[in-house]
Amino acid sequence: METPMPKARKIHLLLIICCLLAAGASACTGRIPTYTYKIVNSWPHDKAAFTEGLVFRNGSLYESNGQNGYSNLRIVDLETGSIKTNVNLAPEYFGEGLTILNGKIFQLTWMNQKGFVYDQNSLAPLGEFSYEGQGWGLTEDGHSLIMSNGTNTIAFLDPETFQTQRTIQVYDKDTTLVDLNELEYVKGKIYANIWKTDKIVQIDPGSGKILGWIDLTGLRPNETAQENEAVLNGIAYDQANDRLFVTGKLWPTLFEIKLEEKQEK
């Protein structure tokens, strides 16, 4: 005669099953998941563009490009990669991170501690703002501007006053995770390129905790192999159609990818 399973154990098993179904195995075990990718689509990208910021809105890509004397802000046709309209920055500015909030475009510069505000549709200049330190990546969560500066600190800024509301620090175990570069806010997580690597890290915007890793090894186009600066740097999310786009500096291709969690062996 079989011994009946204790009620407490039954409840425990049911909770585990519900957790697995609702959030995935990694969320229940505490393991930080690593994702690989599947290429869903690809489009041409200006191989001269030193991509520092990338956003998708209303069927178009908005791109900020760097390097002194070549920096610009442009609206790009997704299908063809052609430039619809653009604004050049003065030679002393190195264009960096980019985001769009409340009909306004916000663009950082690297070393000048100055950002620019534009109209989302016309790219007409609306103003400037200042910040301390370097400007790297920029995104938004619907309320705040979210900014990286090359360290492990991410700052949340008021989009009207540009004052720092709060900061979070990102650690990989006990080590500071530096070189957080181009940012994108995706489904409640901050995605950040790690400069000069093939990895994107997923970050909890509340705590700075690492929620996942995306390994894009092998995605970089072969024709960029001799370009030391042609690194992964560009994340854009199409919220309406749940599409994730990535590209890099000096890459001739922009990719739509789908994430697939790596399974432990």
User: pLDDT 10s per residue in the chain (265 long)?
Assistant: 455 555 556 555 554 444 444 444 455 557 899 999 999 999 999 999 999 999 999 999 999 999 999 999 999 999 999 999 999 999 999 999 999 999 999 999 999 999 999 999 999 999 999 999 999 999 999 999 999 999 999 999 999 999 999 999 999 999 999 999 999 999 999 999 999 999 999 999 999 999 999 999 999 999 898 889 999 999 999 999 999 999 999 999 999 999 999 877 6
Q: Kindly indicate whether the domain formed by 32-261 is annotated with CATH number 2.120.10.30.
A: yes
Cα dist from 65 to 29, 55, 59, 157, whole Å: 41, 12, 20, 22
Listed in order, the ranges of the chain carrying CATH 2.120.10.30 are 32-261
* Amino acid identity, position 78: L
Q: Which is nearest to 97 in space by CA: 174, 48, 42, 157?
A: 157
CB 102 within 8 A of CB 82: no
CA angle 71, 76, 77 (to 5 degrees): 165
pTM exceeds 0.85 for this model? yes
Hunting for tokens 């989009």 — which residue is that? 159
Given the DSSP bridges, would you call strands 34-44 and 210-215 parallel, antiparallel or unpaired? Answer: parallel
* Residues paired with 46 in a beta bridge: none
* Residues paired with 37 in a beta bridge: 259
Cα dist from 178 to 118, 133, 181, 197, 211, whole Å: 29, 14, 9, 12, 16
